[in-house]
């Protein structure tokens, strides 16, 4: 019985340490409490923002210096409404209606159950095509530098749909207390070493 309890305690400790380890490398958008990795597919988190509709915080957005935008839903939205909102934001920024329609159809294909709270939408604009992923599943891409620039402009031009702030401005380290990243890393390393010793010892 004692052995079983010890295993349970170690399992909980391992889970907490892994969560803490992830938190060392993430920043939290303060208005929604949604976290974003500081590094993502070779890019560094540069800015954070919140798309609102009246009092509703619809989603938080993280912009990476690689040209990738991560949207994490704070409020559930229907598939057509979400896809149409982004398509409508593209229209004054891109004159190619066919490419916008292709983008909208691509996004819709990955939202069979809409975009409930917690859904992650990823848009990569750094190359010659706008790549779309939902919950880390690639959906496809629209080959157009103009469309890439137009999508980035949704969050970067003077008429951006939300205010984007530098990641260091108001962003909070993800959970795991008020320890500095270096201290958190040291504690996580020590904890992982301790667990490894228990398992292998």
Q: Dump pLDDT digits (tens) for 157-173.
A: 999 999 999 997 655 55
Q: Residue 67 — left, alpha, or beta (φ > 0 → left; ψ -120 to 50 → alpha)?
A: left
Average of per-residue pLDDT across 69-80: 98
User: What confidence category does residue 22 fall into, taking pLDDT thresholds of 50, 70 and 90?
Assistant: very low
| Length reported for the chain | 201
Rounded Cα–Cα distance for residues 162 and 139 (Å): 25
pLDDT in the model for residue 25: 82
Average of per-residue pLDDT across 71-75: 98
pLDDT in the model for residue 187: 44
Q: In what order do the strands lie in the sheet with 172-173?
A: 34-37, 26-29, 172-173
Determine the distance from the C-alpha atom of residue 200 to the mean position of all C-alpha atoms in its chain, rounded to a whole number. 36
Q: Please spell the DSSP secondary structure of 120-184, one letter per residue.
A: EEEEE-SSSSEEEEETTEEEEEE--HHHHHHHHHHHHSTT-SS-EEETTSS-EE-SSTT--HHHH
Helix, strand or coil for residue 7?
helix
pLDDT at 175 > cutoff 70: no
Mean pLDDT of the chain, nearest integer: 84
pLDDT in the model for residue 178: 39
């Amino acid at each position: 019985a004692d052995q079983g309890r010890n295993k349970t305690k170690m399992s909980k400790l391992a889970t907490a340490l892994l969560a803490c380890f992830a938190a060392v490398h993430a920043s939290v958008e303060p208005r929604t409490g949604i976290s974003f990795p500081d590094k993502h597919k070779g890019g560094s988190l540069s800015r954070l923002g919140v798309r609102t509709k009246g009092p509703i915080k619809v989603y938080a957005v993280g912009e990476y210096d690689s040209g990738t935008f991560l949207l994490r839903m704070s409020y559930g939205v229907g598939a057509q409404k979400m896809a149409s909102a982004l398509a409508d934001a593209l229209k004054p920024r891109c004159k190619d209606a066919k490419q916008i329609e292709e983008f909208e159809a691509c996004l819709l294909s990955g939202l069979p159950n809409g975009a409930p709270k917690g859904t992650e939408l990823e848009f990569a604009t750094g190359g010659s095509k706008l790549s779309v992923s939902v919950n880390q599943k690639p959906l496809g891409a629209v080959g157009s530098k103009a469309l890439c620039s137009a999508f980035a402009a949704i969050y970067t031009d003077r008429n951006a749909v939300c205010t984007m702030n530098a990641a260091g401005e108001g962003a909070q380290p993800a959970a795991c207390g008020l320890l500095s990243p270096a201290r958190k890393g040291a504690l996580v390393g020590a904890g992982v070493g301790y667990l490894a010793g228990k398992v292998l010892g």
